[in-house]
């Protein structure tokens, strides 16, 4: 019998849909009945990360709601919210799987590039979420400068508002990526869940790592 996946969503709704979609697309099923059971709690009351205490409280409440609903493990599509992954794990009696740890493990195992550009929110970058996860490994996380980070922040905000191909900052973002590619940085992490939604519109030859896709594929394996 398949295990029940719990998705702690809401930060943001489009990212939650993207994770669910990728789980469905990566499940070998020919009928509806062959797909995996999934509970999604799309808690849109989780405040912005800057309200850290309130945000953590809502995340823990959400995780416990999923646990009480009977899920076997929990995953979360928001990269930035993983700054509280330890606190969420401590609040549960079921596994919580980290997309950040999974991404670093996958990079170390499957990719030859050891310098990787991180595209993420300023909070994720400043907290050092991915940088800390790869300490004492051969992997080096490259972060954008302050002006480039402003472009990334604006790009992410527009994705949250539903702008993908028509995102007004795509041209600026592509220019940033071209600069790093010319400096021999040939891989990037979509370290904010909205960034992989733009992968089809990024015009460069960089290898693009999608933590959401990695999390979806791992969840399918864990659930079967």
Q: Which residues contact 215 (CB under 8 A, 6 or more apart)?
A: 19, 75, 77, 97, 99, 102
Q: Is 134 a catalytic residue?
A: no
Residue 178 near residue 117, CB atoms below 8 Å: no
7, 67 Cβ separation under 8 angstroms: no
Q: Which of 5, 36, 125, 192 is catalytic?
A: 192
Contact between residue 185 and residue 99 where contact means Cβ atoms under 8 Å apart: no
Q: From the candidates 38, 78, 81, 151, which is the catalytic residue? A: 78
**117 alpha carbon, distance to own chain's centre:** 15
Rounded distance between C-alpha atoms, residue 121 and residue 83, angstroms: 12
78 is catalytic: yes
CA dist 102 and 67 (Å) reads 22
Phi, psi of 43 (to 5 degrees): -80, 100
Q: Is the dihedral of CA 154, 20, 55, 119 positive or negative?
A: negative
The DSSP annotation for 19-78 comes to HHHHHHHTS--SSGGGSPPEEEEE-TTPPPTTSHHHHHHHHHHHHHHHHHHT-SEEE---
Annotated active-site positions, please?
78, 192
């Amino acid at each position: 019998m398949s295990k029940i996946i719990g998705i702690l969503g809401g930060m943001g709704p489009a990212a939650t849909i993207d994770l669910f979609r990728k789980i469905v697309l990566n499940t070998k099923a020919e009928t509806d009945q062959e797909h995996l059971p999934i509970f999604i709690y799309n808690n849109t009351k989780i405040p912005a990360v800057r309200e850290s205490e309130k945000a953590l409280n809502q995340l823990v409440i959400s995780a416990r709601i999923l646990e009480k609903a009977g899920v076997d493990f929990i995953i979360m599509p928001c990269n930035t919210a993983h700054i509280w992954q330890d606190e969420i794990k401590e609040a549960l009696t079921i596994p919580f799987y980290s997309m950040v740890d999974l991404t670093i493990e996958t990079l170390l195992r499957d990719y030859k590039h050891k310098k990787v550009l991180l595209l993420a929110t300023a909070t994720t970058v400043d907290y050092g979420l991915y940088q800390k996860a790869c300490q004492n490994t051969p992997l080096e996380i490259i972060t954008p400068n302050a002006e480039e980070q402003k472009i990334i922040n604006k790009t992410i905000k527009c994705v949250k508002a539903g702008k993908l191909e028509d995102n007004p900052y795509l041209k600026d973002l592509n220019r940033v990526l071209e600069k790093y590619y010319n400096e021999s940085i040939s891989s990037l992490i979509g370290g904010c869940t909205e960034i992989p939604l733009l992968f089809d519109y990024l015009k460069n030859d960089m290898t693009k790592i999608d933590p959401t896709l990695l999390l979806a594929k791992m969840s399918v394996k864990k659930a079967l």
